[in-house]
């Protein structure tokens, strides 16, 4: 599975928000405004409902909020990177989150959804790649790391 099929450079943000709410709102807005056909209100409600069930902060500075929505024309993702880290994310390891990967999936495409999650986490499990993403100065650098899986 190629991450580039689901992510475009214009859906990568260097996050300015210091809180989980600010960061997620920035990503939700970017995805909704990017022309992929995702309704902002529906996405926001689904993301926050998912966060109420359990934080999507998986540890090692990574969060992967992911939802399946009715009306999403195709599965897509947005990525936010915070240099300072988001301390209130409630990550499983209690550490600040630096990389947030937001996935909005077609409701009935469970297999594709799981494969995209796996492909994304395959890249993010490498500490040197995560660190390079956090140090990146431009979204295009982050895009290259995520889509090529290398520095």
Model confidence at 140, pLDDT cuts 50, 70, 90, reads very high
Global pTM value: 0.94
Model confidence at 1, pLDDT cuts 50, 70, 90, reads confident
Domains and CATH numbers, the chain: 3-148 (3.40.930.10)
* Mean pLDDT, range 75-103, rounded to an integer: 96
CA dist 35 and 4 (Å) reads 16
Virtual CA dihedral for 70, 72, 77, 78, nearest 10 degrees? -100
pLDDT of residue 42: 95
Q: Is residue 48 pLDDT above 80, yes or no?
A: yes
Question: For 90-103, how does the pLDDT look when each residue is reduced to its tens digit (9 = 90+)?
Answer: 999 999 999 999 99
The answer to whether the CB of 28 falls within 8 A of the CB of 44 is yes
pLDDT of residue 55: 94
């Amino acid at each position: 599975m190629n991450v580039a099929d689901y992510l475009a450079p214009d859906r990568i943000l260097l996050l300015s928000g210091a809180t989980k709410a600010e960061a997620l709102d920035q990503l939700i807005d970017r995805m909704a405004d990017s022309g992929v056909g995702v309704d902002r209100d529906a996405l926001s409600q689904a993301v926050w409902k998912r966060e109420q069930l359990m934080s999507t902060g998986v540890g090692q500075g990574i969060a992967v909020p992911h939802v399946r929505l009715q009306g999403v024309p195709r599965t897509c993702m947005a990525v936010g990177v915070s240099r300072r880290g988001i301390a209130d994310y409630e990550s499983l390891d209690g550490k600040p989150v630096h990389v947030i990967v937001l996935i909005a999936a077609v409701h009935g495409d469970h297999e594709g959804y799981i494969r995209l999650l796996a492909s994304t986490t395959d890249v993010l499990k490498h500490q040197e790649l995560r660190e390079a993403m956090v140090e990146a100065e431009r979204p295009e650098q982050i895009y290259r790391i995520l889509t090529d899986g290398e520095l």
